């Protein structure tokens, strides 16, 4: 890819997205507006090629760059100079961290999911919904960033996308994430069954109690008709016994990694739980 797109390695960067820390105060949080000049037609064509190449790579090999690629993909039709700066950051990260490898261990072949969402973190007050899928019951035993988890298997798939609806509250975003992950895992469960690996109820690790209560039908949701129309299908799948929810604090939820940009320090801590780089080892010491 580097030769085809004429990419040149520059200054080292430790994460694929420029990180801006969140500032909490009593003042209203303002919408971030990109008013930089529009990118040229040549730059847009380059961006489209870059996204195409990296989308294939992240889907098959390296989920750690998925959020960066997804954001560029969403912006490529109306790219600006700021978009091209984000693309440059991602390019330099990939050039300095090539040839990612996912390691798999023998397991009982039981599907496990970590589910999360970031509420209204995308342009237009949209939310990003995410999930990470593993095989092996021990794959739920993530003990937090920077801590060794020897039984954590390599992920077999992931989801990071913008929710199909504008979510009014954080619980709606989390509920949408549960819905999206169950939708994605239905064919995976059937494929494992066809391969001779019958599935127990699939464990879904989540961190929002209201979303979990809605999915388990232990509370009633009255305000949003959209939620009832779009996402309540998950209640049926849980009632059938195909899925079981397990609440854990957000720090123990691997899907959080795919919801947003992170500081370089945190990003480097999380890399070993997804991939490693033979030529640039970032394994936990």
pLDDT tens per residue across span 178-216: 999 999 999 999 999 999 999 999 999 998 887 888 777
Q: In 3-state terms, what secondary structure has residue 233? A: helix
- Which strands, in side-by-side order, build the sheet including 243-247? 157-162, 126-135, 111-122, 202-206, 243-247
Rounded to whole angstroms, the Cα distance separating 160 from 52 reads 16
Contact 253, 11 (CB under 8 A): no
Contact 215, 245 (CB under 8 A): yes
pLDDT tens per residue across span 226-278: 565 567 788 888 888 999 999 888 888 999 999 999 999 999 989 988 998 88
pLDDT tens per residue across span 61-112: 999 999 999 999 998 888 999 999 999 999 999 999 988 999 898 889 999 9
- Cβ atoms within 10 A of the Cβ of 18, count? 14
Domains and CATH numbers, the chain: 41-96 (no CATH), 111-273 (3.30.420.10)
Contact 83, 75 (CB under 8 A): yes
pTM summary value: 0.85
- Point out which residues pair with 158 in neighbouring strands: 132
Pairing of strands 157-162, 126-135: antiparallel
Alpha carbon 265 to chain centroid, angstroms: 18
Contact 118, 259 (CB under 8 A): yes
Alpha carbon 114 to chain centroid, angstroms: 10
pLDDT recorded at residue 7: 83
Per DSSP, which regions of 61-201 are E strands? 111-122, 126-135, 157-162
Rounded to whole angstroms, the Cα distance separating 201 from 134 reads 14
Rounded to whole angstroms, the Cα distance separating 258 from 271 reads 11
Sign of CA dihedral 3, 85, 257, 49: negative
- Among candidates 46, 131, 125, 133, which has minimal Cα distance to 90? 46
Q: Reply yes or no on whether the pLDDT at 284 is more than 50.
A: no
pLDDT tens per residue across span 126-155: 899 999 999 987 666 676 666 555 567 889
> DSSP for 198-223?
---PEEEEE--HHHHHHHHTSS---S
């Amino acid at each position: 890819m580097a030769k085809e797109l004429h990419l040149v390695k520059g200054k080292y960067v430790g994460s694929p997205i420029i990180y801006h820390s969140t500032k909490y105060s009593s003042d209203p949080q303002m919408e971030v507006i990109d008013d930089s000049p529009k990118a040229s037609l040549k730059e847009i064509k380059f961006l489209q090629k870059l996204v195409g190449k990296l989308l294939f790579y992240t889907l098959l090999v390296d989920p750690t760059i998925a959020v960066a690629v997804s954001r560029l993909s969403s912006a490529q039709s109306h790219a600006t100079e700021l978009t091209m700066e984000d693309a440059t950051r991602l390019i330099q990260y990939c050039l300095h961290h090539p040839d990612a490898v996912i390691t798999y261990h023998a397991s009982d072949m039981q599907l496990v999911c970590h589910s999360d969402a970031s509420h209204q973190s995308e342009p237009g007050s949209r939310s990003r919904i995410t999930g990470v899928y593993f095989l092996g019951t021990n794959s739920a035993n993530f003990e937090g960033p920077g801590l060794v988890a020897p039984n954590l298997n390599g992920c077999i798939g992931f989801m990071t996308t913008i929710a199909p609806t504008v979510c009014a509250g954080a619980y709606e975003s989390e509920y949408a994430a549960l819905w999206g992950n169950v939708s994605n895992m239905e064919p995976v469960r059937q494929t494992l069954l066809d391969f001779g690996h019958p599935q127990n109820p699939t464990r879904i690790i989540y961190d929002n109690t209201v979303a979990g209560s809605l999915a388990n039908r232990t509370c009633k949701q009255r305000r949003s008709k959209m939620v009832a129309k779009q996402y309540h299908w998950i209640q049926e799948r849980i009632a059938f016994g195909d899925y079981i929810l397990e609440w854990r604090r957000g720090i123990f939820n691997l899907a959080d990694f795919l919801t947003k940009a992170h500081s370089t320090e945190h990003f480097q801590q999380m890399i070993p739980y997804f991939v490693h780089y033979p030529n640039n080892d970032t394994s936990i010491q």
